[in-house]
Structure 1
Amino acid sequence: MPFPLYLLALAVFAMGTSEFMLAGLLPDLAGDLGVPVGTAALLTPAFAVGMAVGAPLMAVLVRGRSGRAGLLTFVLAFAAAHVLGAVTSGFPVLLATRVVAALANAGFLALALTTAAGLVPADRKGRALAVLLSGTTVAMVAGVPGGALLGALFGWRAAFWAVALLCLPAAAGLLTSVPAGPARRDAPARPALRAELARSARPRLLLVMLLGALVNAATFAGLTFLAPVVTGPAGLGELWVPVALVLFGAGSFAGVTVAGRLSDRRPGLVVAYGGPLLLAGWPALALLAERPAALLVLVFAQGALSFALGSTLITRVLYEAAGAPTLAGSCATAALNAGAAGGPVVAAATLGADGTGLGPLWASALLVLAALVVAWPARGVLRGA
């Protein structure tokens, strides 16, 4: 894989750390800002909504411009939003910084997905996407638990400062190593924007985007409220929250790595086997939450299955949007984050009055079930037929 691809993954690591770290910071953040846990959890869907809406908008705004300049601008804007978030004392301001950071993340990821696909041959998009998304999964293995640990030791603001600092080496690497122009000299001429918009509205593409959104909604429904499950029904201390997040992240890394070798040629196989296992895993996690050993094993398994299935579906989005090079990455970003926005909202509605409970895990199961019901008549699309 080309070296610039790993620099893109480094920036995705910083952004993924920010997007997911709230799963381990919610109780501390809510207490410091004087809001309920359910209200503080709105920071996650607010970020995701900003990304889902911002991805196509940002993709159009940077259309035809230097990929390196656009990527660098988005990284620096993302860092600035976290500096402001780290020093604010009001929840509304923090919420606004999350939306700004989301817009910057959306623009970056939309460009990065398209850039990553252009750095490799056409039949290796799945592997390139696996490398790019490894930034997200490594964030869950190291960055998110590290953020949770910083929050437990020094307060949630320390995690925001850490994310801002992480952006600096990523920006330096992008400036020196990512091509300023098109990633491939033999790339075909870019189609007209109207043609790309028409391509992006194809039913096959919209169907795969819906599936990716449902699976990601299930992932975020359970992940956002994992900390209260660890410290509540499981009866473990706060320092076990980073451990659970490490296990989920390690599983996600394993899932993306394995799926990256299958998603180009055998996507239907990943969905056919991974989908039912993922569906069974969320109820099992809810039923066995009071048994810490079983909970931790299942957290790893659900991370692996969630990201194997999710990354495979997003790879299919890139294939279906192949005729829309400007909007392909934004379609994938929108699908991911529509789910990330909706999942926590659905899960929050299942919480008890004290902000705890196992409802989010059952909500995840229902969302996966919905995805499988939709996927069954669309088997040909998932096979690339």
Structure 2
Amino acid sequence: MPLALYALAIGGFGIGLTEFGILGLLPEVATDFGVSETTAGYLISGYALSVALGAVLLTAALLRFDQKKALLGLMILFIAGNLVSALATDYSMMLVGRILAALCHGAFFGIGTVVATGLVTAERKAAAIATMFAGLTIANVAGVPLGTLLGQAAGWRSTFWAITIIGIVSFISIIILVPNTSNSGEKPAPGVLRREIAAFKNPQVWYSIVLTILGFGGMFGAFTYIAFTLTDVSGFVTGAVPWLLIVFGAGMVIGNIISGKLTDRFPARTLLIAFIGLTIVLALFAAFAQNPIITIAALFLMGGFGFGTVPPLQMRIMSHAAAAPTLASGANVAAFNIGNAVGAWLGGLTIGAGLGYTSPLWVGAAMTLGALVVLLIAGRLRGGEFTRARAAELSAAAV
């Protein structure tokens, strides 16, 4: 794989740390700023909302710029956001820092996906996407636990200083390794945004967005409350939860890698298998969560099948918006975060209704089953083909 992909992966690693690293530090942040844990939680939900907005608005605003310069600009925003968080003197300043960092999240992955696929041949595009997103998965496996440990040992600000440094490393790596690219030649061509928006006239682009919301949202909704499931249902002690989350993260990494390779050969089949597998795993997990052995296996497989949907979902929307894939790619990243919010909200409703801590798993299974149904319907409609040849069209159209 080209070294430029690893520069993008470093950025993804930093972004993953920014998004999830604060989860284990919320009590310290809440205490330091004198706010409730509920109020501190807005640092997470506010981030997610800003990701969705930035994925569409910033991507649209940057369409007329050279993609490398756009990525560098986004990394400057990322560095600034984390620097503000590290220096925050009150909660409001911290929230501003989180929003600044979040705005670059979706646009970075949206534009980065297009850059990544342009660096390789047609038969390796999904693998290139998986390589870029590997930084995000590694952040969940190793980065988040290490960030939490660093924050607990040296103060929560130290984690954001570390992320700021990672952002600087990513910025330098992009300068050195990512080739100059342009959406429209030497000068920005008029109508770039119009052409990108026109891609949304294709119903299959909207089907792809729905698939992402339902499929990835089902997995994340179940994951949001997983700590309660592990301790109150499966019987694990609280101290075992971080190690169990590493099992989940390991599944994410492996699932992402395998899916990237398979998507390049069997794009439609890979997405179908990922949805079927995720639905079955979530349902079995919900039914047998009292069994610790099954729980551990289900965690690994949930991460594997869940993140195994990412390469084919990104490839699907880009193939159906082949002539103008950048904004569609960004919209799909926004859809990932919308799905996260919807899944978490529905899971919270079922817990609040007294259905127990396995209910988010059942909600997740229902959502991914819904995604499977939508996939089958979309595939039968005109223009719904998602084959290797169809995905290869992206190569000719995006060059």
TM-score after normalising by structure 1: 0.87
Distance in 2 separating the partners of 1:245 and 1:338: 22
Q: Return the offset for 1:132.
A: 0.9
CA RMSD of aligned residues (A): 3.0
Which residue is equivalent to 1:193? 193
Superposed CA deviations along residues 335-379 of structure 1, whole A, max 9, x for unmatched, are: 22222332223333334599x933332332222122122222123
Q: Return the offset for 1:14.
A: 0.9
User: 2:85 matched to 1:77?
Assistant: no
Contact 2:21 / 2:143 at 8 angstroms: preserved in 1? Answer: yes
State the AA in 2 paired with 1:365: A
Distance in 2 separating the partners of 1:156 and 1:231: 25
Contact 1:113 / 1:129 at 8 angstroms: preserved in 2? Answer: yes
For residues 1-385 of structure 1, what are the structure 2 equivalents within 5 Å?
Answer: 1-26=1-26, 29=29, 40-88=40-88, 90-151=90-151, 153-154=153-154, 156-182=156-182, 192-352=192-352, 357-380=357-380, 381=384, 383-384=386-387
Q: Return the offset for 1:194.
A: 1.5
Distance in 1 separating the partners of 2:43 and 2:278: 26
Superposed CA deviations along residues 223-265 of structure 1, whole A, max 9, x for unmatched, are: 2333343444344444433312221111111111111122234
Contact 1:118 / 1:184 at 8 angstroms: preserved in 2? Answer: no
Contact 1:14 / 1:163 at 8 angstroms: preserved in 2? Answer: yes
State the AA in 2 paired with 1:338: I
* Cα pair distance change 1:35/1:287, threshold 3 Å: farther
Contact 1:8 / 1:132 at 8 angstroms: preserved in 2? Answer: yes
Query: 5+ unaligned residues in a row in structure 1: which ranges?
Result: none
Q: Return the offset for 1:114.
A: 1.5
Residue range with higher mean Cα deviation, 336-345 or 9-18:
336-345
Superposed CA deviations along residues 92-114 of structure 1, whole A, max 9, x for unmatched, are: 54444322211122232222112
Residue range with higher mean Cα deviation, 231-240 or 54-63:
231-240
Distance in 1 separating the partners of 2:87 and 2:298: 37
Contact 1:149 / 1:242 at 8 angstroms: preserved in 2? Answer: no
Contact 1:44 / 1:341 at 8 angstroms: preserved in 2? Answer: no
Contact 1:13 / 1:138 at 8 angstroms: preserved in 2? Answer: yes
State the AA in 2 paired with 1:100: L
Q: Return the offset for 1:133.
A: 1.2
State the AA in 2 paired with 1:368: T
Superposed CA deviations along residues 141-176 of structure 1, whole A, max 9, x for unmatched, are: 211222333355455444333322221211111122
Contact 2:141 / 2:249 at 8 angstroms: preserved in 1? Answer: yes
Which residue is equivalent to 2:395? none
* Cα pair distance change 1:38/1:210, threshold 3 Å: farther
Distance in 2 separating the partners of 1:120 and 1:184: 19
Residue 64 of structure 1 aligns to a residue whose secondary structure is coil
Distance in 2 separating the partners of 1:66 and 1:379: 34
Aligned length: 381
State the AA in 2 paired with 1:361: L
Query: 5+ unaligned residues in a row in structure 2: which ranges?
Result: 391-399
State the AA in 2 paired with 1:330: G
Residue 180 of structure 2 aligns to a residue whose secondary structure is coil
TM-score after normalising by structure 2: 0.84
Contact 1:111 / 1:329 at 8 angstroms: preserved in 2? Answer: yes
Q: Return the offset for 1:39.
A: 5.4
* Cα pair distance change 1:283/1:320, threshold 3 Å: same
Contact 2:81 / 2:96 at 8 angstroms: preserved in 1? Answer: no
Residue 181 of structure 2 aligns to a residue whose secondary structure is coil
Identity among equivalent positions (%) equals 33
Contact 1:134 / 1:256 at 8 angstroms: preserved in 2? Answer: yes
State the AA in 2 paired with 1:375: L
Residue 245 of structure 1 aligns to a residue whose secondary structure is helix
Distance in 1 separating the partners of 2:25 and 2:296: 19
* Cα pair distance change 1:331/1:122, threshold 3 Å: farther
Superposed CA deviations along residues 175-223 of structure 1, whole A, max 9, x for unmatched, are: 22222333999xxx99733122111331011101110121121222122
Q: Return the offset for 1:41.
A: 4.4
Contact 1:317 / 1:331 at 8 angstroms: preserved in 2? Answer: no
Residue 299 of structure 1 aligns to a residue whose secondary structure is helix
* Cα pair distance change 1:379/1:95, threshold 3 Å: same
Residue 263 of structure 1 aligns to a residue whose secondary structure is helix
Residue 350 of structure 2 aligns to a residue whose secondary structure is coil
Superposed CA deviations along residues 281-311 of structure 1, whole A, max 9, x for unmatched, are: 2233334444433322211110000011233
Q: Return the offset for 1:11.
A: 0.7
